[in-house]
């Protein structure tokens, strides 16, 4: 009789503690007592594999060997080593028996007696119950340690950080990696610039020779988005940023129904669990600016409309329910802006469809463009707002911090090269290893030098922005000259620059022009799109009424608004269908 054994442990820690060898020793002693030989090829083991699934390499090889007729008997210490799910235990046992293989358990031999079969079923159910208890206790234990700030929510450090190898889950052991930290700062600073995108940022990093966190020459947009949305770079570690739920759709026709069994969805920021603080790489203001830019690029993405051109694409909101408006062409020449809540209520998250009517796109586009031209004919109002906001110095404070970070990174790499040279001269490392490490360090030094050169160029551009902000009137006059002959692309670019939002109600239109002039304005775009345009209802103070144009200046009220805003409201009649 050809006999094989199967052993399994659930976690990598149990595998390191060699508890699987204890199972194997017991099985060998039992076989020796019965004068049965055991070959190494007949040992099937799964180190660190969960008993909740049958997708295990060792078990798969065992089942294949039984199907091929190579094994007549399988010896296992306990049924829960086979699986912790009763149904899965019975499936595997029936499969093995169907191919003529006998299964024996060391702790409690099971015979053909009905009482033994009942006992096997009970033990399988108890094993499944124990697994549920273990998972619950582990989860509660992790939550307690996370709340106490003594356990990191991740086992692999984010890009730019390193963990203590002796205590990889200890928050106190997190430290900065200077070279990668400089890259992180460069990514945030470049992304918040005007017309920056994830794809352009990936090309920029590739041109600098900066490899991805996995060592590839090109960064993916998903990796950059994950980096830009990770709050750990502000110095705060959070847990519970994602939760699992059953999938709503079947991802592929080749996937079995119910696979994958769960999918991850983001959790609102107010429900995150703060764990610990680590060294910060970016300021909270710059991080918030990057999140707003990500939302802006998502809203303005060209993939949302590739067939028709709309002047106010992604800028129109419904004044009835405060939802954003979609662009739709019913027939050629009949274009409309319609509230996205008018469709299926579930898609908009509302109980009932919005009652707002369709807004003719041609009329609304012409109305907004005409008002913008009228605004640019009176540039002294914009110039006064910018002069009032930019009365102080313009140079951003984090430019110096980024300079210092780059110097630290270069200094650390230079010291690394010196240590490598000393180790080679003392005979500690061989020549090929020395050459390889030195080449990698020199490539990082070249990348940091390129970043430093670009940083100095940013300082020059910031100085140019000061002069541009101080000459807003000249800017408006320069734009006025081309207003009459502007094509669609030029009109769209100007509207993106100066129009914050167009709110359409049943009988009137509200146009919001915005210029960021707060303390963080110099690190962002000239016109900055916000996630929610109804969070800052600062009271308006009417100062002049000219030909139906109501001009209102919005001043900052306490800490409610992140930037001072200069807003013009114009309410006129609009025919809707």
pLDDT-derived band at 258, boundaries 50, 70, 90: low
Nearest to 180 by CA among 385, 408, 350: 408
Full DSSP string of 185-253: HHHHHHHTSTT--HHHHHHHHHHHTPPPTTS-SS--HHHHHHHHT-GGGGTEEEE-SEEEE--SS-S-T
The CATH number of the structural domain formed by 161-240+262-298 is 3.90.1750.20
Q: How far is CA 175 from CA 159, 186, 212, 545, in A?
A: 11, 19, 20, 59
Say which DSSP state 501 is in.
E
Q: What is the pLDDT of residue 104?
A: 87
pTM of the model: 0.47
pLDDT-derived band at 400, boundaries 50, 70, 90: low
In sign, the C-alpha dihedral spanning 210, 212, 214, 217 is negative
Which H or E element spans position 431? Answer: helix 431-470
Average pLDDT over residues 382-397: 46
The residues that are catalytic are 10
Q: What is the pLDDT of residue 407?
A: 82
The two structure tokens encoding residue 29? 């002693």
418 pLDDT more than 80: yes
Owner of token pair 């990348």: 447
In sign, the C-alpha dihedral spanning 283, 525, 198, 273 is positive
Q: Are 539 and 364 in contact (CB under 8 A)?
A: no
144 pLDDT more than 80: yes
Q: Are 209 and 443 in contact (CB under 8 A)?
A: yes
Among 232-246, 270-284, 398-412, the least confident range: 398-412
Residues 11-25 as b/e (b if ≥16 CB within 10 A, e otherwise) read eeeebeeebbeebbe
**Alpha helices in 150-197, H assignment, sequence order:** 178-191
pLDDT-derived band at 416, boundaries 50, 70, 90: confident
pLDDT-derived band at 160, boundaries 50, 70, 90: very high
The two structure tokens encoding residue 355? 């009652």
Q: Which of 46-60, 105-119, 215-229 is most confident?
A: 215-229
What's the start-to-end Cα distance of the chain, in Å?
85
Nearest to 177 by CA among 199, 162, 158: 162
Of 154 and 572, the structure prediction assigns the larger pLDDT to 154
Q: What is the pLDDT of residue 185?
A: 93
d(CA 526, CA 390): 13
Average pLDDT over residues 151-171: 91
Q: What is the pLDDT of residue 229?
A: 94
Among 35-49, 335-349, 408-422, the least confident range: 335-349
Tell me the per-residue pLDDT of 327-367, one tens digit each, with 9 for 90 and over.
888 887 788 998 888 875 545 556 678 888 888 999 999 99
Q: What is the pLDDT of residue 563?
A: 29
Q: What is the pLDDT of residue 471?
A: 52
Q: What is the pLDDT of residue 472?
A: 54
Q: Are 239 and 275 in contact (CB under 8 A)?
A: yes
527 pLDDT more than 70: no
165 pLDDT more than 70: yes
In CATH, 3-143 is 3.40.50.1390? yes
d(CA 341, CA 351): 10
Average pLDDT over residues 145-162: 90
Q: What is the pLDDT of residue 126?
A: 75
List the beta strands (DSSP E) in 307-452: 316-318, 325-331, 334-339, 359-360
Contacts of 280 (CB under 8 A, 6+ apart): 233, 234, 235
Q: How far is CA 315 from CA 288, 312, 485, 502, 537, in A?
A: 21, 5, 23, 6, 18
Among 86-100, 369-383, 402-416, the least confident range: 369-383
- Phi and psi at 271, nearest 5°, equal -100, 0
Average pLDDT, the chain: 75
227 pLDDT more than 90: yes
433 pLDDT more than 80: yes
Contacts of 78 (CB under 8 A, 6+ apart): 105, 106, 107, 108, 123
Which H or E element spans position 543? Answer: strand 541-546
Tell me the per-residue pLDDT of 75-102, one tens digit each, with 9 for 90 and over.
998 888 888 777 788 888 888 888 888 8
d(CA 216, CA 237): 27
């Amino acid at each position: 009789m050809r006999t094989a054994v199967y052993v399994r442990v659930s976690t990598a820690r149990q595998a390191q503690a060699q508890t699987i060898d204890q199972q194997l020793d017991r099985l060998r002693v039992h076989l020796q007592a019965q004068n049965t030989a055991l070959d190494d090829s007949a040992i099937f083991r799964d180190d660190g594999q969960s008993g909740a699934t049958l997708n295990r390499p060792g078990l798969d090889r065992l089942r294949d060997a039984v199907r091929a007729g190579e094994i007549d008997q399988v010896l296992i210490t306990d049924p829960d080593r086979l699986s912790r799910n009763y149904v899965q235990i019975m499936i595997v046992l029936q499969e093995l028996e169907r191919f003529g293989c006998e299964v024996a358990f060391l702790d409690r031999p099971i015979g053909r007696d009905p009482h033994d079969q009942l006992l096997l079923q009970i033990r399988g159910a108890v094993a499944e119950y124990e697994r549920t208890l273990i998972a619950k206790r582990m989860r509660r234990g992790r939550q307690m340690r996370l709340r106490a700030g003594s356990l990191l929510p991740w086992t692999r450090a984010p890009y730019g950080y390193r963990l203590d190898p002796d205590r990889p889950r200890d928050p106190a052991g997190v430290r900065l990696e200077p070279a990668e930290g400089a890259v992180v700062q460069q990514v945030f600073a470049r992304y918040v610039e005007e017309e920056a995108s994830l794809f352009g940022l990936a090309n920029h990093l590739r041109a600098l020779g900066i490899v991805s966190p996995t060592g590839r020459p090109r960064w993916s947009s998903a990796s950059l988005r994950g980096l830009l949305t990770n709050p750990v770079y502000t110095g705060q570690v959070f847990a519970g940023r994602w939760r699992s739920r059953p999938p709503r759709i079947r991802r592929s026709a080749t996937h079995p129904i119910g696979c994958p069994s769960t999918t991850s969805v983001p959790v609102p920021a107010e429900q995150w669990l703060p764990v610990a603080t680590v060294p910060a790489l970016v300021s909270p203001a710059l991080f918030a600016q990057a999140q707003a830019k990500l939302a802006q690029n998502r809203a303005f993405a060209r993939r949302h409309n590739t067939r028709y051109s709309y002047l106010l694409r992604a800028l129109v909101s419904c004044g009835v329910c405060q939802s954003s408006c979609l662009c739709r062409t019913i027939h050629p020449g009949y274009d409309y802006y319609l509230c996205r809540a008018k469709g299926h209520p579930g898609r908009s998250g509302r109980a009932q469809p919005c009652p707002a009517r369709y807004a003719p796109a041609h009329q609304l586009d012409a109305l907004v463009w005409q008002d913008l031209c009228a605004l640019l004919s009176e540039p002294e109002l914009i110039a006064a707002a910018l002069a009032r906001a930019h009365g102080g110095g313009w140079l951003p404070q984090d430019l110096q911090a980024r300079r210092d970070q780059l110097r630290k990174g270069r200094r650390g790499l230079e010291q690394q090269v010196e240590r490598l040279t000393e180790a080679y001269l003392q005979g500690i490392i061989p020549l090929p290893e020395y050459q390889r490490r030195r080449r990698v360090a020199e490539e990082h030094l070249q990348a940091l030098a390129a970043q430093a050169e670009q940083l100095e160029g940013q300082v020059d551009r910031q100085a140019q922005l000061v002069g541009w902000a101080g000459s807003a009137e000249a800017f408006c006059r320069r734009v006025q000259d081309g207003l009459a002959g502007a094509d669609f692309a030029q009109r769209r670019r100007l509207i993106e620059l100066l129009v914050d939002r167009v709110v359409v109600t049943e009988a009137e239109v509200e146009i919001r022009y915005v210029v960021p002039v707060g303390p963080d304005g110099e690190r962002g775009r000239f016109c900055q799109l916000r996630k929610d345009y109804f969070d800052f209802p600062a009271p308006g103070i009417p100062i002049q009424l000219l030909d139906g144009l109501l001009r209102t200046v919005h001043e900052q009220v306490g800490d409610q608004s992140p930037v001072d805003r200069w807003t013009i409201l114009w309410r006129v009649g609009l025919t809707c269908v």
